[in-house]
Amino acid sequence: MTTTPARPTPPAIPPTFYDLIKRDIRALMRAGDPTPAGLLRVAPCLLAALTSRANRATAPAGIAIIESAVAGLPEAPATAMRVLLAFGQPIRSTTLTDRRILAADAYSVGYDRFREAWEDQAVEALVFALAERADPNATMPTPPKRLKARLRTPPPPITAYKPISIYRTRTRRPTQPS
């Protein structure tokens, strides 16, 4: 019987930065494209956080930083993340489920148990390793224009919404005969 692993105490990472790195690592896992072009296409925010720029010239350095972070993990999470990120495999040759089956062998559990309990632990370990290697002066790419417009447009004030009862002048019930 396997037990659920204990959560490590997270270092002092801002929650938004933690979520950004975790989201981009998950996107890289789904894509199965461990090339510089794949990193630039799938996870530009992670690339900008690691190299302070998200462009084609810095993408190979970003892949090298991710590979060094994976190499610095303990044995089981390193093996799992190497397989999940498809390092050393042909581009998009396997599905995420196939890679989870291979990664579960490092933990000696089934792939469904690995996905439920151990995958998050391996991803968190990689997130913390990448946060240590991130450029502190990096600026994140600007959000798309639609999102920027939505962020700049404030919602209407609460006074714009009036209850329906203000508009009713008469009751809708029939009058009672006396």
Per-residue pLDDT tens digits for 132-158: 887 766 655 555 555 555 556 666 677
Q: Domain-by-domain residue ranges, the chain?
A: 15-145
Judged against a pLDDT cut of 80, whether residue 44 lies above it is answered with: yes
| pTM (predicted TM-score) | 0.68
Instruction: Indicate the helix (H) or strand (E) that contains 157.
Output: none
Contact 109, 103 (CB under 8 A): no
123-154 as b/e: b if 16+ CB within 10 A: bbbbbbbbbeebeeebeeeeeeeeeeeeeeee
The larger pLDDT score, comparing residue 27 to residue 156, is at 27
